[in-house]
Amino acid sequence: MPADPVSINQYRCGTGCPLLFIAGPCVIESEEFILDVAIRLAEIASSLSIPLVFKSSFDKANRTSIHSFRGPGLERGLEILAKVRDTTGLPVTTDIHEPFHADPAAEVCSIIQIPAFLARQTDLIVASAEATRKHGSVINVKKPQFIAPEDTVHIVRKCEEAGQSNVLLTERGTTFGYGRLVNDMRSIPIMHSTGAPVIFDATHSVQMPGGATTGGQREMVPIVARSAVAAGCHGVFIETHPDPDNAMSDGPNMVQLHNLPRLLKQLVRLRDAVLECEADT
């Protein structure tokens, strides 16, 4: 069985634990920018006494247009994430797209994230499971938009077969028709029945795919995030940016950084209420 709770550096995520937050800009736009946001997130985490993992991508391989900004690439991106880790003390995470990304990323990052569109790629899952086991880190796999939540058990079993029991699963909505994602909160307990703690991706759940660029409804992030915490998720993934309208990727879905503390406080209060309810049952 997968570990529950899962240890992530000084944090624990899972049954009976405080809500884990994974937050940061969608893509690494520059070293200066990323360090500035990371320092502000570390200050927020300290002031609220919450566990927070910093997230940003070194390469956005899944862009609508070939001309869209993708990031600084593997080597430079990991250098910047290592600097974030060392400067702020926050654990860091990033997503990978190729098996050869796994080992260098797991050496720097406490969590390796597998994108939803790649979650059925066995070679990528196995390479990530082996690399995270080797470096003492965690694998976080996003549920594809096109599979049932109960089918995530096969992802967990692949990780276990590769020797990794420290697995997180992330719910990020299900495709319904064209250009819409639907969030069925029953997915959270169903995915948790695999044994793995469940993260809710409030950012990509409000995406609106299609058109020249992917759109989104950032005003809906608090609503779906609160719903997911009430449904029992163990962590929340929220991309954030000081100026989302001018972000280089996923701007329509990202929460403005100055609005983030208020939302995090709400989610912590909800998690506390859920843990009280669970204690009474």
pLDDT at 249: 80
* Angstrom distance (rounded) from CA 233 to CA 184: 13
Question: Tell me, which fold does domain 6-280 have in CATH?
Answer: TIM Barrel (3.20.20)
Which residues, in sequence order, are CB contacts of 280 under 8 Å at separation 6+?
none
Given a cut of 70, whether residue 210 has pLDDT beyond it is no
pLDDT digits (tens, 9 = 90+) for 152-184: 999 999 999 999 999 999 999 998 877 678 999
pLDDT at 218: 84
Does the pLDDT of residue 204 top 60, yes or no? yes
- Domain ranges for the chain: 6-280
Query: Which positions ≥6 away from 127 have C-beta within 8 Å?
Result: 99, 100, 102, 103
Identity (one letter) of the amino acid at 108? Answer: V
Q: What is the β-pairing status of strands 174-175 and 181-182?
A: antiparallel
Give residues with Cβ within 8 angstroms of 177, minimum separation 6: none
What pLDDT shows up at residue 118? 96
Name the helix (H) or strand (E) containing 11.
strand 11-13
Signed CA dihedral, 181, 183, 184, 188: sign only:
positive
Percent of the chain with pLDDT over 90: 82
Q: pLDDT tens for residues 33-52?
A: 999 999 999 999 999 999 99
Across-strand partners of 199? Answer: 170, 235
The yes-or-no verdict on residue 212 having pLDDT over 60 is: no
Provide the 8-state DSSP code for 30: -
DSSP 68: S
Q: What is the Cα Rg of the chain in Å?
A: 17
Round the average pLDDT of the chain to a whole number and report it. Answer: 94
CA atoms within a 13 Å half-sphere pointing along the CA-CB vector of 107:
9
Supply 96's token pair: 């990978």
pLDDT digits (tens, 9 = 90+) for 63-100: 566 767 788 899 999 999 999 999 999 999 999 999 99
DSSP string for 154-219: HHHHHHHHTT---EEEEE--EE-SSS-EE--TTHHHHHHTTTS-EEEETTGGGEE--SSS-EE-GG
Q: pLDDT tens digit string along 101-127?
A: 999 999 999 999 999 999 999 999 999
Q: How much is the pTM?
A: 0.95
